[in-house]
Structure 1
Amino acid sequence: MELSPGKLWGMRRMADEAGRFKMVAVDQRPPIKNPIREKRGTAEAPYEDVAGFKLMLVAELQRHATAMLLDPHFALPRGFTLLSPRIGLVVTLEDSLFRETDGGRLSAEIDDWSVEKIKRCGGDAVKVLAWYRPDAEASVIAAQKDFAARIGEACARFDIPYVFELLVYPLPGEKNQTSQYIEMADKRADLVLDSVRAFAEPRFGIDLFKVESPVPARAVADGGDAAQAAFDDLGRLCGRPWVMLSAGAGMAEFEAILARAYRAGASGYLAGRAIWAEPFKAFPDWEAIRAGLRATSVPYMERINALTDAQATPWHAHPLFADGVSVPSPDAGFRHAYEGF
């Protein structure tokens, strides 16, 4: 299969030399801002606290990652001088403030931020989270699909990989209501699978899916054949390389999720809280956080990286690329065939 040069290069930049993804997310906003705000007793989390924690994550964890996901509010502005140029830079586009309506959630881009700006500042990929329920109101479903397709078109135009994340959520009136970035306690596999099915269509231009477990994290390890079947369906429906997100799962839970996902063909992970949530509990003791990252998060990354090396499918070995990966006109005619912006 042919990939445009920019997308091919970006996919390679995010992965290791073997084609496996070991990516750390530090773009979270509410999951970091809210605990800081509560512990500081302030109306808003102080900027320096949020940025300071994110930069500590970059400094302490980047040696064990193939790429890091940064946000343009806190992590990216100072990350340019801290992030190692040997690893990939994935940049967030979606606003953490979604609009809750009677029919479901509506996503939007961060104000004054764009695919073009991510490309121009050196990003290797664009990451977008879309809240989605296949049983939401029809107008909400249409709006979320328009949102995803619009960004896909921009990623194609600026020739940069599109990393697309999906999260199911409780509709108004359902139990276990939460607006947090956490897994639904009573999540149904069909909601996850039908969401992936909806966005696997070529018109969305997605290059890499970032997906949640189709089975509640607490039930993955002991889920038996039924749990594995759900992961197998997930891999089949993605139709392209895919990685797992942690959605607030604990360390052991996420490791069990990865084991099942890798058996189903996943190519790695793009995760945050499973890796660094435990040390973050020590805030505002910065030295305790740093010590915790070194004593807990780094060994955990080494463990799941070894699992990834042993069991994950290299992205270019996905069935989508059964005939190999190439760029259009890989010869002297390349400069004529390659379209500019």
Structure 2
Amino acid sequence: MPAAPLSLTPGKLWGLRRLADASGRFKMTAVDQRPPIKTPIKAHYGTDEAPWADVAGFKRLLVEELQGESSALLLDPHFAYPHAVSAFDPAKGLILTLEDSLFTETHGGRLSSDIDDWSVEKIKRIGGDAVKVLAWYRPDADASVVAAQKDYVQRIGAACARFDIPFVFELLVYPLASDAEQTRDYVEMASKRADHVLQSVETFAAPDYGVDLFKLESPVPADAVPGTDDETAETAGEVQALFDDLGRLAGRPWVMLSAGAGKDAFRKILTHAYAAGASGYLAGRAIWLDAFRAFPDWEAMRAGLKTDSVPYMRDLNALTDARAIPFLAHPAFGPDGARLTPADASLRHVYPDFGGTP
């Protein structure tokens, strides 16, 4: 028996529309990264902590130079929002991150938590159009860790439902203590297994978690993705089948993350994702990392964003326009697509307060 079509509450529908372009496609830039920006700056200075002004200054630079090609930007509350919001184009969608970048590493796996003194309610009140959470997840982690991560995501989903704000959920697999590959960096796990990626998506697609938009990694290591346009690649069909499974299991609109992939690799990933029904991207380092390597030469970084990052985004956006599915038309919403319900004068009577009472 086919599943009933998904529906979006008024606040979630409006929030997702704010994140997308006029056609309903997502062209979103991530500026919330903390360790990937702080670590190179610390190394440059030889200090234990990166100066706030340098981290925040680079994030403002990203907002200033990249928002023109973005439908929305993802900011953090430590650096990007306080320093760059004055330069933020109010016509762009605003996503704010909730999870702390300092996860807890245990023998059985990683545990996530919120940024201290930060919440879904504060994101809603400060003007955010959506809440973003990254959860490191391995279906084969210790049972207590798996349960804790599920509980964490479920609590956030419930809070997003209460405040009627979209929940943008990012999943990343990571190495367990028993794996040969070990890293705590925010990079793709090169030895990841496709079944771990797919099982994770299937788990959190359940209605208990309240995910509105998935931000997903490639089921195949980035450098092993041939691209759908590479007709000579023997594995192209096999890779596409995995992306097709990714979209099927998500069961709602989804976008691709870059996880530090190179420019060419990420573009190939998007060709597979769009063929599988993705509605866009939410990416950071694939777009701006090359320019950031010029730190601390601020003029060189700005020039790199203008001459390298912006043209790359224009290429991705053209690909997105040509091949991505508008989120409003995702099959999960049924033949009529995502729409306001009820679209009549009864809305005010049935739309609940934060406490859940109409």
Any idea what SS the aligned residue of 1:91 has? strand
| Among candidates 188, 195, 205, match of residue 190 of structure 1 | 195
- For the pair 1:112 / 2:124, whether they are aligned, the reply is no
- For the pair 1:26 / 2:31, whether they are aligned, the reply is yes
| Among candidates 234, 250, 271, match of residue 283 of structure 2 | 271
Q: Who is 1:228 aligned against?
A: 240
Q: Who is 2:338 aligned against?
A: 325
Where in structure 2 are the equivalents of 1:195-210 lying within 5 Å? 195-210=200-215
- For the pair 1:305 / 2:317, whether they are aligned, the reply is yes
What is the TM-score when the length of structure 1 is the normalising length? 0.99
Displacement after TM superposition at 1:327 (Å)? 2.8
| Among candidates 165, 171, 176, match of residue 176 of structure 2 | 171
Displacement after TM superposition at 1:280 (Å)? 0.5
Q: Provide Cα deviations, 1:193-220, integer angstroms capped at 9, x if missing partner.
A: 0010110000100000000000010110
Displacement after TM superposition at 1:80 (Å)? 2.3
Q: Measure the CA separation in 1 of the matches of 2:258 and 2:339.
A: 32
Q: Measure the CA separation in 2 of the matches of 1:219 and 1:251.
A: 14
| Among candidates 212, 219, 225, match of residue 217 of structure 2 | 212
Q: Measure the CA separation in 1 of the matches of 2:337 and 2:219.
A: 29
Q: Measure the CA separation in 1 of the matches of 2:7 and 2:291.
A: 43
Q: Who is 1:89 aligned against?
A: 94
Q: Measure the CA separation in 2 of the matches of 1:4 and 1:98.
A: 32
Displacement after TM superposition at 1:78 (Å)? 2.3
Q: Provide Cα deviations, 1:234-280, integer angstroms capped at 9, x if missing partner.
A: 00000000000000000000000000100000000000000000010
- Is residue 216–residue 254 contact of structure 2 (8 Å, CA) maintained in 1? yes
Partner amino acid for 2:345? A
- Is residue 328–residue 337 contact of structure 1 (8 Å, CA) maintained in 2? no
Q: Provide Cα deviations, 1:169-228, integer angstroms capped at 9, x if missing partner.
A: 000131120000101111111010001011000010000000000001011014311111
Q: Provide Cα deviations, 1:17-37, integer angstroms capped at 9, x if missing partner.
A: 110000000000000000000
- For the pair 1:294 / 2:299, whether they are aligned, the reply is no
**Runs (5+) with no aligned partner, structure 1:** none
Q: Measure the CA separation in 1 of the matches of 2:41 and 2:315.
A: 29
| Among candidates 126, 133, 154, match of residue 128 of structure 1 | 133
Q: Who is 1:144 aligned against?
A: 149
Q: Provide Cα deviations, 1:101-145, integer angstroms capped at 9, x if missing partner.
A: 010000000000000000000000000000000000100000000
| Among candidates 278, 281, 291, match of residue 293 of structure 2 | 281
Displacement after TM superposition at 1:328 (Å)? 3.2
Displacement after TM superposition at 1:44 (Å)? 0.5
Q: Who is 2:260 aligned against?
A: 248
Displacement after TM superposition at 1:40 (Å)? 1.3
Partner amino acid for 2:249? L
- Is residue 267–residue 312 contact of structure 1 (8 Å, CA) maintained in 2? yes
Q: Who is 1:74 aligned against?
A: 79
| Among candidates 31, 34, 41, match of residue 46 of structure 2 | 41
Q: Measure the CA separation in 2 of the matches of 1:43 and 1:102.
A: 26
Q: Measure the CA separation in 2 of the matches of 1:190 and 1:329.
A: 40
Q: Measure the CA separation in 2 of the matches of 1:2 and 1:327.
A: 9
What is the TM-score when the length of structure 2 is the normalising length? 0.94
Partner amino acid for 1:28? Q
- For the pair 1:338 / 2:343, whether they are aligned, the reply is no
Any idea what SS the aligned residue of 2:158 has? helix
Displacement after TM superposition at 1:329 (Å)? 2.6
Any idea what SS the aligned residue of 2:168 has? strand
Any idea what SS the aligned residue of 1:289 has? helix
Q: Measure the CA separation in 1 of the matches of 2:219 and 2:128.
A: 30
Any idea what SS the aligned residue of 1:293 has? helix
Q: Provide Cα deviations, 1:268-322, integer angstroms capped at 9, x if missing partner.
A: 0000000000010000000000011111000000000000000001001111112
Q: Measure the CA separation in 1 of the matches of 2:327 and 2:321.
A: 12
Any idea what SS the aligned residue of 2:87 has? coil
